[in-house]
Homo-oligomer: A and B are copies of this chain.
Amino acid sequence: MSGRESLAAWVRLSLTDGIGPQTARELLARFGLPEDIVGAGFPALQKCVPEKIAYALSGPAPTAMQEQIERTLAWADGDHNQVLTLADDGYPKALLSIADPPPLLYAKGRVELLSRPALAIVGSRNATVQGMQNAERFAQTLSASGLTVVSGLALGIDAAAHLGALAAHVGDEAGSTIAVTGTGLDLVYPARHHALAHRIAVDGCLISEYPLGTQAMASNFPRRNRLISGLAVGVLVVEAAMQSGSLITARSATEQGRDVFAIPGSIHSPLSKGCHQLIRQGAKLVESAQDILEELRWQHIAAPVQPTAAVPPAHAIDADASLQQLLALAGHDPVSIDQLVERSGLPAADIQAALLTLEMAQRVEMLPGGQYRRLS
């Protein structure tokens, strides 16, 4: 099967109604690559997914979907466009440690940035002038220190963070930034950020898990936020109202084991209340970008991390001592992530990433209830 046909199968999997990251992961673990899933046939598929999904994955794709797949492959041929699958070398390693990495990521720009250490900066769309200035300055310093700044391309704090990051100089290079959008990557939302999106596509990278043509929908943004935190080692919240999207990103960060930083402000500013709540809940109060760098014990790292395949070939798994050790610790009885954490002493995020690799290589399978069983 050609690379193009294989990619087409990934796209089909991601476009099929009812298949989210979790179901995709189960199917990949059971059948192998997407072409194997599509080729598995209705009876086999029906054993692990609802009938409707099994039916949709059997036989040829309907015309409308076929057209969307063609459109996607054509888009991926465009300059600086790429569709990254869980099996690709360039798929961001950081996302492998979250609970629900998207099987497919649309990327536009310098995809190599996705493998570098990053810090997320998020905050209110209705930010104050001071808040925007803070976001810009923090982003510029962090970017100049070699951290890629991740944000969501929204008005207010997000835009200021992207701009601050791009304004920095890292050695001879321009500062870099990643925008995780909540629409298809062929659209720009909000529309007035066309010029910013264009600049990021050149000097940074835009990514989205949503199919081309996906319009802005309120329900997609909170889900998108888990990728903003997931790509980063920590999240800085600059200004945030109570019950705002930034607090969802901060919660994702905590769940993913990422650091949360917050900038305090006047007790009379509604946009500081979210930050103050985070600080009360354990986020680190920061007054400067330096505070963040110190907390991360960050030293300027010039060399970008070399990307390696998310799903290594069998011999690589056999040669990977830490994966072999995890298999040994797992034994052949069903085991939970918590148990593996206890047995190995490793952080849950590391265990989760290793299990995903082993799952994709069909060395372990995920059981209902979040337990895992060794397969070989």
Contacts and interface: CB of A to CB of B under 8 A. Distances in A.
Interface in A247-304: 263-268, 272-273, 276, 279-280, 284-288
A267 B264 contact: yes
Given A265-B265, A267-B263, A267-B264, A273 B287 contact: yes
Contacts of A285: 264, 276, 279-280, 285
Interface residues of A, number: 18
A134 interface: yes
A130 interface: yes
A279 B287 CA distance: 12
Nearest to A138: B267
Contact of A276 (B134, B267, B287): B287
Nearest to A284: B280
A17 to B, nearest CB: 46
Contacts of A263: 267
A268 B272 CA distance: 14
Contact of A130 (B134, B266, B284, B288): B266
Copies in the complex: 2
Nearest to A265: B266
Nearest to A286: B267
Nearest to A273: B287
A140 to B, nearest CB: 15
Contact of A264 (B134, B276, B284): B276
Contacts of A264: 264-267, 272, 276, 279, 285
A266 B269 CA distance: 10
Interface-centre pick from A134, A276, A284 (highest chain B CB count, 10 A) = A276
Contacts of A267: 134, 263-265, 286-288
A284 B281 CA distance: 11
Interface string A125-163: 000001000100000000000000000000000000000
Interface in A301-325: none
Contacts of A288: 267
Nearest to A133: B268
A257 to B, nearest CB: 21
A369 B276 CA distance: 43
A266 B285 CA distance: 12
A202 to B, nearest CB: 32
Interface-centre pick from A130, A276, A285, A288 (highest chain B CB count, 10 A) = A285
A248 to B, nearest CB: 21
Contacts of A265: 264-267
Nearest to A287: B267
17 contacts: A130-B266, A130-B268, A134-B267, A263-B267, A264-B264, A264-B265, A264-B266, A264-B267, A264-B272, A264-B276, A264-B279, A264-B285, A265-B265, A265-B267, A276-B285, A279-B285, A285-B285
Given A264-B279, A267-B287, A279-B279, 16 more contacts: A134-B267, A264-B264, A264-B265, A264-B266, A264-B276, A264-B285, A265-B265, A265-B266, A266-B266, A267-B286, A273-B287, A276-B285, A276-B287, A279-B285, A280-B285, A285-B285
The 8 A-B pairs of least Cβ separation, nearest first, read A264-B264, A267-B287, A279-B285, A280-B285, A276-B285, A276-B287, A265-B266, A263-B267
Interface of A: 130, 134, 263-268, 272-273, 276, 279-280, 284-288
